[in-house]
Amino acid sequence: MTKSESRARNILKKEYPNAYIWKVADYKQIGNAGNKGLPDYLVISEGKYIWFEVKMIKSLKVFNLNEINENQWAEFCHMFTACADIKILIILKNYKHYCIDFQDCLKFKENAEKSLDLRNYSINYIP
């Protein structure tokens, strides 16, 4: 388990102490094209299924939408159309984190914006 995966898992365990948390094996780990673009974690809590994509970034102020690759955009949009709850868990080097709904990212991308200002979101909070 990488450092970012370990941090993400700890954040999710703290936020959802009684949840089922599953780390989705990614394409690089297993070479299965069927997993290409899927979010990193599935959390099942109180009957809700929540998908989390984890991104480690250096900036303390902005999240560049290019951090989400083409395969992820395609898969997340397909999942979102099916009413999946998808969140982007952004972990900073200083261990703080932000959680952004994929829907927000989609709105910004549709408006041809290239990044989100993280100062508009609550730090260390998962909605």
CA gap 72, 37 in Å, rounded: 4
**Taking 70 as the threshold, does the pLDDT of residue 28 lie above it?**
no
**Are 102 and 76 within 8 A, CB to CB?**
yes
Q: How confident is the model at residue 51 (pLDDT cuts 50, 70, 90)?
A: very high
Dihedral sign from CA coordinates of 39, 108, 81, 123: positive
Q: How confident is the model at residue 4 (pLDDT cuts 50, 70, 90)?
A: confident
Q: Which fold has domain 3-120?
A: Trna Endonuclease; Chain: A, domain 1 (3.40.1350)
For the ranges 41-45, 54-58, 116-120, the maximum mean pLDDT occurs at 41-45
Across the range 31-60, mean pLDDT stands at: 86
Single-letter amino acid code for the residue at 55: K
Domain edges within the chain: 3-120
- 55-104 residue pLDDT tens: 999 877 899 999 999 999 999 999 999 999 999 999 988 778 999 999 99
Q: How confident is the model at residue 30 (pLDDT cuts 50, 70, 90)?
A: low
